[in-house]
């Protein structure tokens, strides 16, 4: 494993009173601008707060919490209260009750591994004022079905198992206007390839926030990994022609 350079001390998120991101359009635009959605599986508030602060200090104020972990709803609520400028999202959604509780906790985006996020169970919100919706899809049929449902972005999962960046490029052929998030198998070696293939953003788990770094509170390592991914996305985008996605 290569040695990581020393990073600056963790930055603090802004005071709650200074938060300005309130609308769905702002959240969606911020996700697309940064192009990275870090995701973690944790069952303690302390781990989640550590991850939130360190990844934000690296320039990625976005964090997806896996709802299949114990206490996930309470952790989401805590992060929303404590760090109002952090875009907190709920992941691994498959049922209406969990989706409802995540919304009540303040989640700004909802996502899952498949098309069904549990949003058919009586949840009411408009395309303008609700959470950012990011269903998972794999086949071309699922991708267009997800987009026609009125979602904001489509997460292609699991990417690595079906061709990686080559598969994203193939999907962008018939669907150049659909913003795709590449998820599953994204790391420092593949990130630029996914962006070059047309991915709007990248869903990244332990390649960005390793379990060991959470356990040992390795701030510098998370900072450096975050900065590397931010730089990779920025450079890869600088080489792209004008994108044709709908925003």
Q: What are the pLDDT digits (tens) for 80-124?
A: 999 999 999 999 999 999 999 999 999 999 999 998 887 765 455
Name 162's Cβ contacts closer than 8 Å, sequence gap at least 6.
138
- Edge to edge, the sheet with strand 36-40 lists 132-134, 109-111, 87-91, 62-66, 36-40, 201-204, 180-183, 154-156, 136-137
* Residue 118 contacts residue 96 (beta carbons within 8 Å): yes
Q: Give the residue-averaged pLDDT of 128-135.
A: 87
Supply the pTM of this predicted model.
Answer: 0.88
For residue 108, give the DSSP letter: S
CA–CA dist 52, 64 (Å, integer): 10
**Rounded Cα distance, 155 and 115, in Å:** 9
Question: Which two structure tokens, joined as six digits, stand for 196?
Answer: 């070059």
Query: Is there a contact between 47 and 74 (Cβ–Cβ < 8 Å)?
Result: no
In residues, how long is the chain? 247
Mean pLDDT of 50-78: 97
Strands 36-40 and 180-183: unpaired
Q: Are 191 and 232 in contact (CB under 8 A)?
A: yes
In whole angstroms, what is the distance from residue 125 CA to residue 147 CA?
17
Higher pLDDT, 218 or 241: 218
Residue 11: φ, ψ to 5°: -85, 150
pLDDT confidence band for 125 (50 / 70 / 90):
low
Amino acid 235: pLDDT:
97
The answer to whether residue 164 scores a pLDDT higher than 60 is: yes
Mean pLDDT value across the chain: 88
The tokens of 188 are what?
Answer: 């420092």
Q: DSSP code of 160?
A: G
Rounded Cα distance, 51 and 169, in Å: 32
- CA 238 remoteness from chain centre: 21
Helix (H, G, I), strand (E, B) or coil at 229: helix
Instruction: Report the C-alpha gap between 158 and 167 in whole angstroms.
Output: 11
- Asked whether residue 163 carries a pLDDT value surpassing 90, the answer given is yes
- Token duo for residue 218: 């390795």
Is the domain defined by 22-237 classed in CATH 3.10.180.10? no
Question: HSE on the CB side for 44, CA within 13 Å?
Answer: 6
Identify the band that residue 46 occupies on the pLDDT scale cut at 50, 70 and 90. very high
% of residues, the chain, pLDDT over 70 = 85
Prior bond of 158 cis (ω within 30°)? yes
């Amino acid at each position: 494993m290569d040695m990581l350079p020393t990073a600056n001390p963790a930055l603090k998120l802004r005071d709650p009173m200074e938060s300005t991101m309130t609308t769905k359009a702002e959240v969606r635009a911020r996700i697309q601008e940064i192009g990275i959605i870090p995701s973690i599986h944790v069952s303690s508030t302390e781990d989640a707060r550590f991850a939130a602060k360190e990844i934000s200090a690296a320039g990625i104020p976005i964090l997806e919490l896996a709802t299949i972990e114990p206490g996930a709803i309470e952790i989401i609520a805590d992060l929303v209260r404590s760090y109002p400028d952090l875009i907190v999202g709920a992941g691994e959604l498959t049922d209406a009750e969990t989706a409802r509780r995540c919304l009540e906790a303040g989640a700004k985006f909802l996502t899952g591994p498949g098309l069904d996020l549990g949003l058919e169970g009586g949840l009411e919100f408009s395309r303008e004022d609700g959470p950012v919706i990011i269903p998972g899809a794999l086949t071309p049929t699922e991708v267009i079905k997800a987009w026609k449902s009125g979602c904001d972005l489509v997460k292609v999962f699991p990417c690595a198992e079906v061709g990686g960046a080559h598969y994203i490029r193939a999907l962008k052929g018939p669907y150049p206007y659909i913003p795709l998030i590449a998820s599953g198998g994204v790391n420092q070696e593949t990130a630029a390839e996914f962006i070059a293939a047309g991915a709007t953003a990248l869903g990244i788990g332990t390649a960005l926030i390793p379990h060991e770094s959470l356990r040992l509170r390795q701030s510098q390592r998370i900072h450096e990994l975050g900065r590397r991914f931010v730089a990779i996305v920025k450079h890869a985008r600088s080489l792209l022609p004008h994108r044709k996605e709908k925003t």
